Amino acid sequence: MQRRLANFNIWTVGAVVIIMMLFLPNLTIVTGLFTPSNDNWEHMKEFVLQQFVINSLILTLATATATILIGLSLAWLIAQYDFPFRRFLKWALILPLSIPPFIGAYTYHGILNFTGAVQTTLRDGFGMELDPAYFDIMNLPGAIFIYTMFLYPYVYTITQVYLSEQSASLIESTRLLGKGPWRTFFQVVLPISRISIIAGASLVVLEVLNDYGVVKYYGIQTFTTAIFQSWFGLGDLDTSIKLAASLMGFVIIILLIEKLLRGRRQYSYFSTKVRPLQLISLSGWKGFAAAGYGMLILSLGFFIPVIQLIDWTVLTFGTIPMEEFMRYVQNSVFVAALSATLIVVFALIVGNFARMVQGKYTKLLPKLTVLGYSIPGAVIAVAVVTAFVALDGYLAPLYLAIGLETTLVLSVSIVLLLSAYIIRFFAIGYNSIETGYDKIGTNFRDASRLLGAGPTKTFFKVDVPMMKGAIISGFILVFIDVLKEIPLTLILRPFNFDTLSTKAFQYASDEKIMEASQASLLIVGISALAIVIFYKILEKEMD
């Protein structure tokens, strides 16, 4: 408390206001925990909940493990070794993030099912009729595969940046101590990358927990299924909010574990010098093996689905109306860019606050803001609509005073959708920004203050320029996520507002996956472009 007083200023006020704004809608969900349980809740508990929870646990744990294995091994290869295609792979390996998992799920099923490319080729080309069960991807392992392939970049990017920038002396000294590459990996790389691995993997876990598209299509019943079953099926939103609140509790536990595991980390630049790791050149078959591994993952996570989408686009071209596509692109880019900007700005303010305060509990406050990320979008939508309708209620006299005929203004405007995005994706942006703040530590800020610069000047002249990498990466990650987002966009958009993802979903939900390919391809293309631009900027920064 004392320390906070020492730094009390407009920034603190701003941060607290933002935290409250982000948290209040979630409060509607938290209160759900305390509503009395009804028959439906009891029914769920008796018949399905146990299996659902087990499925969810398997799904999240297996996906987390797989994404860590793939993400870390790729990060390690790229950070430590030189091999053919390394420069290309370094950024291309982020590309799978541009494919929404539900589209990936549809696409892979499309490739592998009875009428898909694989079975058709085997059947017609080679006369082979294999047991279709071999190609069945619509099961738990299949879903784990889908999530892993399209989410591993979260672990990869964070870990790779960390290893390249931070680990040089540790890794080099290990090598000098005569440890081979495998022992270096397991005894040094793995433990020292712990923090970035956990940061990446917790994003993956949250993403898997709140996703509904993949598991619904693949017929896997998870905790999210229970939430929607009680809402859509039983028309019992109370029970579904109660379930969502339980999920939130689980997520809070994950966040606490993450905090504990991070422990008393010190990962600020110790000196102003960041020494890059010297690359070891892999020659001969080793080089090809490394390149092959990277290419394999990239193909599974990007090229194969994209080629299938292109194929479908060609197949169905002209069968669906496309005059409006330019507008969908504009709408998509507009909401994605705007919400990403807002999130980055808010995250900078909250992150600044987080490193200023010292109290044990105040430190946890900013963590509350990431809760939105764990909740299925549709449930957040309800919370946000409720909050905005209430807000409009308060503002109604004002609306009438300025001559509007309606009392629902904000709740039918794009502000509603943007707020929902911010609540939902704040975690993604905040994660990047927080890592950025961690990296620069507080000394530069203190130095600036002592040189006579106030908090605001310090923020713009010292913090922001030093965190450009974190700011850009936070922006891009949110941008891509909003571009892919579906339940919130679908339900909270204003009248006549279509985006690429609502369009893709419209066809996909109707089992017209081929017709969905054009909008999907545009989402992938724009996201991929964003990743390339992001990478180019970062590369320039490094020079």
Residues 429-468 that bind another protein (CB under 8 A): 443-444, 446-454, 460-462, 464-466, 468
Pick the stretch among 61-69, 157-165, 278-286, 487-495 that binds another protein (CB under 8 A). Answer: 487-495
Pick the stretch among 56-64, 144-152, 190-198, 506-514 that binds another protein (CB under 8 A). Answer: 506-514
CB of 58 to another protein, least distance (A): 15
Q: Extract the tokens encoding 381.
A: 């939508």
Q: Which is nearer to another protein, 282 or 500 (CB)?
A: 500
The helix/strand count (H/E) of the chain reads as 30, 2
What does the alpha-carbon distance between residue 156 and residue 20 come to, in Å, rounded to a whole number? 32
Which residues, in sequence order, are CB contacts of 42 under 8 Å at separation 6+? none
| Residue choice 13, 54, 69, 114 for contact with another protein (CB under 8 A) | 114
CB of 392 to another protein, least distance (A): 7
Ramachandran assignment for 116, one of left (phi > 0), alpha (psi -120 to 50 degrees), beta (any other): beta
Instruction: Tell me, by CB under 8 A, how many residues bind another protein.
Output: 111
What does the alpha-carbon distance between residue 448 and residue 451 come to, in Å, rounded to a whole number? 5
Q: Give yes or no for residue 327 binding another protein (CB under 8 A).
A: no
Q: Give yes or no for residue 132 binding another protein (CB under 8 A).
A: yes
What does the alpha-carbon distance between residue 161 and residue 166 come to, in Å, rounded to a whole number? 8
Q: Give yes or no for residue 398 binding another protein (CB under 8 A).
A: no
Give residues 409-428 in contact with another protein (rule: CB under 8 A): 409-415, 418
| Residue choice 81, 267, 269, 325 for contact with another protein (CB under 8 A) | 269
Residue 405 half-sphere exposure toward CB, CA atoms < 13 A: 0
Pick the stretch among 11-19, 254-262, 292-300, 312-320 that binds another protein (CB under 8 A). Answer: 312-320
What does the alpha-carbon distance between residue 435 and residue 445 come to, in Å, rounded to a whole number? 16
Pick the stretch among 57-65, 179-187, 198-206, 228-236 that binds another protein (CB under 8 A). Answer: 228-236
Q: Which is nearer to another protein, 190 or 364 (CB)?
A: 364
Q: Give yes or no for residue 276 binding another protein (CB under 8 A).
A: no
CB of 290 to another protein, least distance (A): 30
| Residue choice 119, 196, 202, 369 for contact with another protein (CB under 8 A) | 119
Cα–Cα nearest to 98, from 370, 476, 378, 474: 476
| Residue choice 509, 525, 532, 535 for contact with another protein (CB under 8 A) | 509
| Residue choice 21, 33, 81, 136 for contact with another protein (CB under 8 A) | 136
Cβ atoms of 110 and 116 within 8 Å: the answer is yes
Q: Which is nearer to another protein, 92 or 530 (CB)?
A: 530
CB of 358 to another protein, least distance (A): 5
Q: Give yes or no for residue 103 binding another protein (CB under 8 A).
A: no
What is the total residue count of the chain? 543
Cα–Cα nearest to 356, from 345, 365, 368: 365
In eight-state DSSP terms, residue 125 is: I
Residue 316's alpha-carbon distances to 58, 112, 212, 242, 498, in angstroms, are 37, 19, 27, 43, 20
Bridge partners (DSSP) of residue 159 are: none
Pick the stretch among 63-71, 157-165, 167-175, 407-415 that binds another protein (CB under 8 A). Answer: 407-415
Neighbours of 365 (CB within 10 A): 18
| Residue choice 3, 265, 286, 327 for contact with another protein (CB under 8 A) | 3
For helices 325-356 and 500-508, angle between their N-to-C axes, nearest 10 degrees: 110
Q: Give yes or no for residue 118 binding another protein (CB under 8 A).
A: no
What residue type is 312 in one-letter code? W
Longest CA–CA span in the chain (Å) reads: 79
Q: Give yes or no for residue 48 binding another protein (CB under 8 A).
A: yes
| Residue choice 67, 229, 308, 374 for contact with another protein (CB under 8 A) | 229
Q: For residue 82, what is the enclosing H or E element?
A: strand 81-82
Pick the stretch among 147-155, 406-414, 421-429, 522-530 that binds another protein (CB under 8 A). Answer: 406-414
Q: Extract the tokens encoding 416.
A: 């509603």
Bridge partners (DSSP) of residue 281 are: 82
Q: Give yes or no for residue 237 binding another protein (CB under 8 A).
A: yes
Q: Give yes or no for residue 391 binding another protein (CB under 8 A).
A: no
